[in-house]
Amino acid sequence: MHNRIKLALIGPGRMGVNYAKVVKQNPFSELVAICGNSTETTDKNGKQFNVPLYYENNWNQMFIDFPDIDTVIIATSEWAHLSPFTDAVKAGKNIIIEKPLAVSPDDIREMKKLKNEHPQLKIMVCLTCRFDNRYVLGKKMLDEKQLGNIGYIYSRRNADYKTASRIIGKFPIPYWITVHDIDLMRWYLNSEVKEIHAFNSHYSGKGDLLIVNLLFENGTRGVIETIFYGKPVTGQHHSRMDVEGENGKIELNIASAGAVQFLEHSTLLSDEHDFVDMYGKYVGSTPNMINHFIDVLVKNDILAVNFNDGIKSVEVCEAIHQSLINKQSVLI
């Protein structure tokens, strides 16, 4: 059997724990250590994996203790990516990093510089939609030219104020979930964004809406919608993607659920696509993504989503941010 890839997790939050579960289950990988910030959270989420735990972001000690770590999963908060990224790159580690890759132009420039200095490292940004079978099917249809020329693309990824409150004030809103829509549009159209014009309601740090008009280099126009006003509402059609072509269209209702559980005081929708325990094995877009990266390392496969994809997407996020501030179109 091939030597197992040794991975370490930095940031044992909800997503980090899911990533670690997949690593533990993959026969070609081994989770060797976990590093977190607070002792309480790291113990609470990390002890289930029976690996050494490190606290107060002491990942450099983790690298010293485990020099054979091949890959680091960075699942810290969005605004806390640069420091672990910098140290992991300098330590020669491959990286799986949560989206968005960065949340400021300075961080973007520093990350690009570091990657250019270490071109041999494999870096994947966790743009999980690319590993969702529904989006993948749509991409296949477009690559096969089933729709002919594409004239318009639309993506909606709405949240609620409670969900958004975790990040409001920490970094510009356009860097948040909008990065998924930007990446999907770039991927679907095989084209980069040329110009954007963004609108919002007030941009005051409260519930808000974000509408982005995009023009791509190939001439296709698109719209991204992100709204997070009120309280969470079960069953809302929060995510959708439409592609209009000369020979037909694609409609992806990402929020639709195959199973709904009605309880006495609430209604619950099942998670059937992102992370599902099926007969003791994790399946879904998140396991697909982590297992893909392990395949890249073991089999030398080509990365489905790479560092440049992460960079391009956050550069568009910054352009959206500048358009909102200056109330005008921005050329990229």
User: Looking at residue 235, which CATH number applies to its domain?
Assistant: 3.30.360.10
Give pLDDT, residue 1. 46
Q: Are residues 213 and 162 in the same domain?
A: yes
Whether residue 22 is contained in a domain is answered as yes
Is beta strand 71-74 parallel, antiparallel or unpaired with respect to 5-10? parallel
Q: Are residues 17 and 39 in the same domain?
A: yes
Whether residue 305 is contained in a domain is answered as no
- Residues whose CB is less than 8 angstroms from the CB of residue 279 and which lie 6 or more positions away in sequence, other chains included: none
Q: Are residues 28 and 55 in the same domain?
A: yes
pLDDT < 50 positions in the chain: 1
Give pLDDT, residue 43. 97
Q: Are residues 317 and 214 in the same domain?
A: yes
Q: What is the CA radius of gyration of the chain?
A: 20
Domain end among 93, 121, 149:
121
pTM: 0.94
What is the number of structural domains in the chain? Answer: 2
Q: Minimal CA–CA distance to 317: which of 112, 113, 168, 101?
A: 101
Which residues form the domain of 322?
A: 130-278+312-331
Q: State percent of the chain over pLDDT 70.
A: 93
Whether residue 260 is contained in a domain is answered as yes
Q: Are residues 185 and 117 in the same domain?
A: no
Q: Are residues 77 and 95 in the same domain?
A: yes
Whether residue 299 is contained in a domain is answered as no
Q: Are residues 61 and 134 in the same domain?
A: no
State both tokens at 138. 């749509």
Q: Are residues 257 and 138 in the same domain?
A: yes
